[in-house]
Structure 1
Amino acid sequence: QALGIEVTRSGSSATVYRDAALQSGEIHAELAGTTSRFLTALAATAGSSISIDGHERLRQRPIGPLLNALRSLGAQIADHDGGLPVSIQGPLRGGAVTIDATTSSQFISALMMIGPVLPEGLHITLQGSPISQPYVNLTASVMELFGVSTDISEGSIGISPQEYSATSVTIEPDASSASYPLAIAAATGSTVTIEDFGSSSLQGDKQIIDILREMNADINCTPHSTTLTSNGRDLVGIDIDMSEISDLVPTVAALACFAASPTRIRGVGFIRNKESDRIGDLASELSKFGANVVEHDDGLTITPAELLGATVDTHDDHRLAMGFSIIGARVPGTAITEPEVTSKSWPSYWHDIAEMVT
């Protein structure tokens, strides 16, 4: 709306009307990395200047690879040392572009979504193996819902000039968010069912279902629901590469504190540049509970230890807050500072979880 796009809301639905050119405006993305990166790419298609800024932590997160890619396509950009705040103006011509795929899949998704509206389309060459590849595939699936095709091959993505078609879309529940009540049920020996989230989900983070099974939880799913049932068995540790499902790291790390054997989380060195340092900050806060946590460049090792109540800091990170709630559901005396950070992705989280555990 700040850019001149009409949006109307009714209950849980929203309608977006795209019948006018993007207007000059200012966007404050708060802590939202996805929002800032997607809107940066969108702003580059406009003929007027658009400014994007965010919370101090968001200013510290990398966006340089995306800015460089947009510059190579013709965007005029003023940035702050390769980060926010940025002022950006198009239009873009399209063509060929190369981007580092090892920092964030959001850069790739942002470019993909503007590709169809560029006069020359877009051919994206990926440097390195993409992290969070499932999100790239999800982006292509959503674009297809709006009538746009993509050609994804190893190391490149091709998108020809096309027109997006208006459509009606039902957004499936967030798999990352579903992981918290499932993990709480596993930690506390209770039962929970998540409706509208099951084997038909397009999201990579639905792997939480397989992870919980591997950790010895009794979990069953249909295409449209998932149920975790108390089975009385001890959870067991796992050794897992989470490079493609990194948003699940706080969930798995918290649950690993209750396992009967060690857990090794690998392949996620890049999550140090999320809303928090999700390796260092997670390790230091879990240690406050008495957890035996070893920090590695690419992840964590968590060895079973007796946990005690503690006061832990969220570091302005909604996923850390929700991850610590898994421990709090089982360990008395747990206090989480700034719990309101969960409003970024789940505004009613504490109310909903309180109903679940009572």
Structure 2
Amino acid sequence: MPPARDEGPATRGAAGSGRLPDPFEVEPLAAPPDAEPRLPGSKSITNRALVCAALAEGTSVLSGALVSDDTEAMSECLGQLGVACRVGERDGSGTVQIVVEGTGGSLRSGGAVLDARLSGTTSRFIAPVAVLAGGTRVLDGAEPLRRRPMADLLVALGELGAEVVPLGDPGCLPVELHGGTSGVQGGEVSVRGDVSSQFLSGLLLAAPAMRDGLRVRVVSELVSRPYVDMTVAVMRSFGADVSLDDPAGGPLVIEVAPGGYRAREFAIEPDASAASYFFALAAAGAGRARVEGLGTSSLQGDLAFVDVLASMG
């Protein structure tokens, strides 16, 4: 079984029925498996890289990017904020090259309706980005997303100077976001770490574009730390200055200096959770599975599944 995830699997935008017969009969392997699958890109890395590239100065090229409802929602929301994202042709593994014309943090002011669809990462990442510029925007999503909690993130944005007006249930979408005259400038804020790491990641991703940078104090145990580490790694890849103070027994404090991002070519890793099934098959069938683009330097905590298999012999 693949590792538990704070960020759920990507939802496909235009899939077929995809239904299997019930019951579904699985034939035994005739020989040990020998697989080199071409897998889709990581949704989590794709959406983080899209935000960094959007706020960077210059043009970034993201290769191996995932095509899914989540990443399409992110691209469309960024488009509403004035970011041009050009998506190339999809290859056999469902990945594409995305060319992002960065704004240097100068986003379109006001007036946009941002539809996150069903994407939790999009809603949690785009909210802090949306208040970087002045004016008013509405952030909404499909009905299931409206039921997911956003309160901790919305409170944090309020503490940083944004005005957040609920248009539905308090602490949930839809909300009206006011960035003030010139957008949120940064500062210091405390967030809980035991609700969702996406709230923290969203604040961090927007921070390099804030005039004063950002200092975040995590006041409770941080869930899904690997996803925050992934966020920091992607940010640093785009030139952000991020420092972590993680004393034993003390709260985690993350500081992001102002200065923005630098555009670059960036390769999205294949999805490690999807790779887990092939690794498990190879282990169970005394065979081999190799996924190009995944290795010991992977940004994805899910790759620790390989260590679990190794510990089982």
TM-score, with structure 2 as normaliser: 0.65
Residue 95 of structure 2 corresponds to residue 6 of structure 1: no
Q: Provide the identity percentage.
A: 38
Q: CA deviation at 1:70?
A: 0.4
Is 1:22–2:108 an aligned residue pair? yes
Contact 2:102 2:263 in 1 (8 A): no
Once residues 282 and 118 of structure 2 are traced to their aligned partners in structure 1, the CA distance between those partners, rounded to angstroms, is 29
Deviation at 1:180, TM superposition (A): 2.7
1:296-338 per-residue CA deviation (whole Å, 9 max, x = no partner) reads xxxxxxxxxxxxxxxxxxxxxxxxxxxxxxxxxxxxxxxxxxx
Query: How much does 1:45 deviate?
Result: 1.1
Cα deviation code 1:160-179 (max 9, x no counterpart) = 21121111111111212222
Rounded Cα–Cα distance in structure 1 between residues aligned with 2:292 and 2:102: 32
CA contact (8 A) 2:81 2:130 kept: no
Q: Which residue in the other structure is 1:294 paired with?
A: none
Q: Deviations over 1:47-105 (max 9, x none)?
A: 12222222222222211111000000011111231011122121112111010111111
Offset at residue 188 of structure 1 (A)? 5.9
Structure-2 residue corresponding to 1:89: 178
User: 2:307: which partner in 1?
Assistant: 210
Contact 1:175 1:203 in 2 (8 A): yes
Equivalence for 1:62: 149
RMSD between superposed Cα atoms in Å? 1.8
Tell whether the 8 Å contact from 2:149 to 2:171 is kept in structure 1 after alignment.
Answer: yes
Q: Is the 8 A contact 2:107 2:132 kept in 1?
A: no
Q: Indicate yes or no: 2:257 matched with 1:179.
A: no
Give me the TM-score of the superposition, normalised by structure 1: 0.57
Within 1, Cα distance between the matches of 2:272 and 2:144? Answer: 25
2:200 aligned to 101, 108, 115, which one?
108
- Residue by residue over 1:257-293, the C-alpha shift from the partner in whole angstroms, topping out at 9 and shown as x without a partner, is xxxxxxxxxxxxxxxxxxxxxxxxxxxxxxxxxxxxx
Partner in structure 2 of residue 98 of structure 1: 190
User: Do 2:146 and 2:172's aligned partners in 1 also have CA atoms closer than 8 Å?
Assistant: yes
The residue number in structure 1 matching 2:165 is 78
Gapped regions of structure 1 (runs ≥ 5): 217-358
In the TM superposition, residue 44 of structure 1 has moved relative to its aligned partner by: 1.6
Aligned length: 216
Gaps of 5+ in 2: 1-78, 90-95, 247-251
Cα distance in 2, alignment partners of residues 118 and 3 from structure 1: 16
- Describe the shift of the 1:96–1:9 C-alpha distance in structure 2 as closer, same or farther (beyond 3 A): same
Greater relative contact order structure (CA < 8 Å, 6+ sep): 2
Give the secondary structure class of the aligned counterpart of 1:169: strand
Query: Which residue does the alignment assign to 1:121?
Result: 213
Amino acid at match of 1:4: G
Distance 1:181 1:30, change over 3 A: farther
Offset of residue 190 of structure 1: 5.5
